[in-house]
Structure 1
Amino acid sequence: MQNSLLFPIFFVVLLSTSCAQTSDKEINTPETLDFTTELVVGDIQNAWGMVFLPDNAILISEKSGKLLLHKAGKTITIENPPKVYNRGQGGLMDIELHPDYDENGWIYFSYATSEGEEKGGNTAIMRAKLSNNQLVDVEELYKASPNSTRGQHFGSRIEFDNNGYLYFSIGERGNRDVNPQDITRDMGKIYRLHDNGRIPNDNPFVDESGAKKAIYSYGHRNPQGLALHPETGKLWAHEHGPRGGDEINIIEKGKNYGWPVITYGINYSGTEITDETSRPGMEQPLYQWTPSIAPSGMTFVTSDTYPKWKGNLLVGSLAFQYLERLEVQDNKVVYREKLLDGMGRMRNVRQAPDGFIYISVEGKGIYRLVPKS
């Protein structure tokens, strides 16, 4: 749904009755903000991913393929980044640190690559270490196949759970009628691996003939947000719908999230994809946005730096160019708030170890949200 700015936003979608919470929850816009924005790293076109290193440096991925390190007010380019397939929505995407980074130094990357026999490219996951401003000990852990020349729906976010498992998302690459519902094919899935790339022996489809053994859940369109709930430890994801029907889901082992058999969205042309918004055996979203906000990046606020936000969910909007704050109680959205309206396409939002929230805005850079005293 990243191209949602090309389509009208003032449409009405008639939805059939189901148990999903829909986006009729009014979004509020505060008259004044109790924080200011401080530019931390400027002159970045598309800061897709960012992580915070123990020495207070920020490691940043540019979709174009550059890997940047910002420290003490200076930004340098890291050598030996993955060679990316920079096409459409694909390129150098997310970054995540190993939970035991202080001990082992592993950094994980998602990126689009042309590696493989087929033309085009697809999403891959690798890990490496940072030494003397270059990546070393590079290991590819997973590569989706086959390649595709289509430019959409690469995913891809990375998250670790409390047991040290590595999760990542790969979009269905624009081939909705084939990929997301077929567990013998990559794409349109969320995957789970051990930190070294080995497939867990209790993954849901390891004993199923022909299945992609790394799959953890399926029936996804294009997930660009993954976050671990700070209290339950559950993995939450959001994903782009088509025209309408962006979703927030709680990801469960082996579950089918329905795309495109069930959806609250319609085709960009205005025609119907399906008349079903629910079906037995397919999961309902915790929440869905119609119109689509084109969500990218997601974090739970756990910091005391923003006491009014503690426990809330922050999500970037590419389409409407704002930061959305959602209050969630008992897995229901009870309040929505629009922050930084019109600031720009919000590509990512993360909470740093120092407790501050950082956002990346396309064409501008990375900002820190600083509470007013």
Structure 2
Amino acid sequence: MVASVGRITSLAFVAALALQWPAYAESINAGNRPASAERPFKTQTIAQFDTPWALTFLPDGRMLVTEKPGGLFVVTQTGEKREISGVPKVAAEGQNGLLDIAIAPDFATSSLVYLTYVEQDAGGTRLVLAKAKLTLAQDKAQLDDLTPIWRQTPGGGGGQPGGIIAFDPQGKTLFLTVGDRMQPQTAQDPKQARGKVLHLNLDGSIPSDNPDASKGGIEGETWTTGHRNPYGLAFAPNGKLWLNEMGPRGGDELNLIEKGKNYGWPLVSNGDQYSGEPIPRHSTRPEFAAPLVYWTPVIAPAGLVFYEGKMFPQWKGSALIGGLRVKSLVRVSFDAKGQPDEADRFDMQARVRDVAVAPDGAIWLIEDSKSSKLMRLTPKS
């Protein structure tokens, strides 16, 4: 009798959980959506940079901007730039170099920032996650006490480094994307720090709630696996974690990131090899998590941010994605069940590398080129 009650209770618990899980439709292909030349915003160029990669805001409204060759700047909203010293030496070539930067959850008291970069290694190059104290004073702007807290081991590989940082909503841990470094098969190797989303404590140690925390090493650090080239990672207002990644010839993806799941690369994709050789589709392997939105033809998604500002109230809760290939700002909206779909694609006539939202609700973009604009977007009316 006790066993039966326990079983009924367990079934009731599972049923209750099921009611909380959104019922998603089949993957939506948004690849052929046209870009609109009509924009509901006006665009103002504020400053220019050499191959910028990431943009983030400080609490006072100033920005930090990284340049792939190794430059780091603090920038005012009127375009005054000041270079920050103490940046580590980076291996800047192709897709590699100085990558993401994010301020710590306790930045107001700690002044800590986290940054990712690719460094030279005996085996070639490797991705590094480091933290440092940011000092901004009248007479200096510098990183102090730079401390690497995670290094890709073993090193080696080509481009597609990943390197995006996202702090959990409680500010206790962080998530880090690691691309496959152009070695696709390593994305399915649990002992390779490639093609993964890692979950780390703020000091680089392994959180106890990771799927394989007890194994230590890369296995212990891994949250999800089977990713190709993830350049966007952000938490939605409801606490769910989303990732966008570039596919091969087709099959760019927007994925809901859930603990312990395998997203299939390179065993499945909604794109094909650049040679034209087909790759099995997600629909043929249901054991792998499929993207909720994908793009064939590709958009080459880069920076990802969720909008919660006041200037564009109609966009609250939307995801904003930089489109490199399509030279656009892409907006993804979510229906009442949580299903995403591309809602808008605004032609920016430039490769959009990163997107950020200022404290006042304005949207900021950086381009991807040797002479790139930093742009502020505000409503037309």
| Structure-2 residue corresponding to 1:193 | 200
1:268-347 to 2 correspondences below 5 Å: 268-274=274-280, 277-329=283-335, 330-339=337-346, 341-347=347-353
Checking the alignment, whether the CA contact within 8 Å between 2:299 and 2:323 is kept in structure 1 is yes
| Structure-1 residue corresponding to 2:20 | none
1:210, 1:31 → 2: CA distance? 49
Q: Which amino acid aligns with 2:113?
A: I
| Structure-1 residue corresponding to 2:126 | 122
Q: How far off is 1:211 after superposition?
A: 4.8
Checking the alignment, whether the CA contact within 8 Å between 2:85 and 2:142 is kept in structure 1 is yes
Q: CA RMSD in A?
A: 1.9
| Structure-1 residue corresponding to 2:63 | 58
1:243, 1:351 → 2: CA distance? 31
Where structure 2 has 5 or more consecutive residues not aligned to the other structure, the ranges are: 1-23
1:301, 1:209 → 2: CA distance? 36
1:81, 1:335 → 2: CA distance? 37
SS in 1 for 2:108: helix
Checking the alignment, whether the CA contact within 8 Å between 1:154 and 1:171 is kept in structure 2 is yes
- Is 1:350 aligned to residue 356 of structure 2? yes
1:100 aligns with one of 85, 103, 106: 106
1:1-373 to 2 correspondences below 5 Å: 20-24=26-30, 27=33, 29-30=35-36, 32-42=38-48, 44-71=49-76, 73-115=79-121, 117-118=122-123, 120-131=124-135, 132-148=140-156, 150-164=157-171, 165-177=173-185, 179-208=186-215, 211-231=218-238, 233-274=239-280, 277-329=283-335, 330-339=337-346, 341-363=347-369, 364-373=372-381
Q: How far off is 1:55 after superposition?
A: 3.0
Determine which structure has more spread, i.e. the larger CA radius of gyration.
2
1:258, 1:168 → 2: CA distance? 18
Q: How far off is 1:172 after superposition?
A: 0.5
1:23, 1:51 → 2: CA distance? 30
1:77, 1:87 → 2: CA distance? 21
Q: Which amino acid aligns with 1:78?
A: I
SS in 2 for 1:271: coil
Q: How far off is 1:52 after superposition?
A: 1.2
Q: Deviations over 1:311-357 (max 9, x none)?
A: 11111111111111122212323453111x15211100111222111
Structure (1/2) with the larger helix percentage: 2
| Structure-2 residue corresponding to 1:10 | none
Q: 1:29/1:180 Cα in 2 relative to 1: closer, same or farther (>3 Å)?
A: closer
Q: Which amino acid aligns with 1:284?
A: A
TM-score by length of 1: 0.89
SS in 2 for 1:85: coil
Checking the alignment, whether the CA contact within 8 Å between 2:84 and 2:143 is kept in structure 1 is yes
Checking the alignment, whether the CA contact within 8 Å between 1:22 and 1:290 is kept in structure 2 is no
TM-score by length of 2: 0.87
Checking the alignment, whether the CA contact within 8 Å between 1:65 and 1:86 is kept in structure 2 is yes
Checking the alignment, whether the CA contact within 8 Å between 2:193 and 2:218 is kept in structure 1 is no
SS in 2 for 1:268: coil
Checking the alignment, whether the CA contact within 8 Å between 1:305 and 1:355 is kept in structure 2 is yes
Where structure 1 has 5 or more consecutive residues not aligned to the other structure, the ranges are: 1-17
SS in 2 for 1:102: helix
SS in 2 for 1:237: strand
Per mean C-alpha deviation after superposition, the further-off stretch among 274-283 and 129-138 is 274-283
2:328, 2:142 → 1: CA distance? 34
Per mean C-alpha deviation after superposition, the further-off stretch among 273-282 and 253-262 is 273-282
Checking the alignment, whether the CA contact within 8 Å between 1:26 and 1:336 is kept in structure 2 is no
Q: Which amino acid aligns with 2:55?
A: M
Checking the alignment, whether the CA contact within 8 Å between 1:321 and 1:345 is kept in structure 2 is yes
Q: 1:85/1:212 Cα in 2 relative to 1: closer, same or farther (>3 Å)?
A: farther
2:341, 2:82 → 1: CA distance? 43
Checking the alignment, whether the CA contact within 8 Å between 2:30 and 2:342 is kept in structure 1 is no
1:24, 1:335 → 2: CA distance? 6
Q: How far off is 1:74 after superposition?
A: 1.7
1:213, 1:229 → 2: CA distance? 25
Per mean C-alpha deviation after superposition, the further-off stretch among 260-269 and 70-79 is 70-79
2:330, 2:286 → 1: CA distance? 31
Q: Deviations over 1:178-218 (max 9, x none)?
A: x1111111110001111121211221112237753211111
Q: 1:60/1:342 Cα in 2 relative to 1: closer, same or farther (>3 Å)?
A: closer
2:293, 2:341 → 1: CA distance? 11
Checking the alignment, whether the CA contact within 8 Å between 2:32 and 2:297 is kept in structure 1 is no
Q: Which amino acid aligns with 2:132?
A: A
| Structure-1 residue corresponding to 2:7 | none
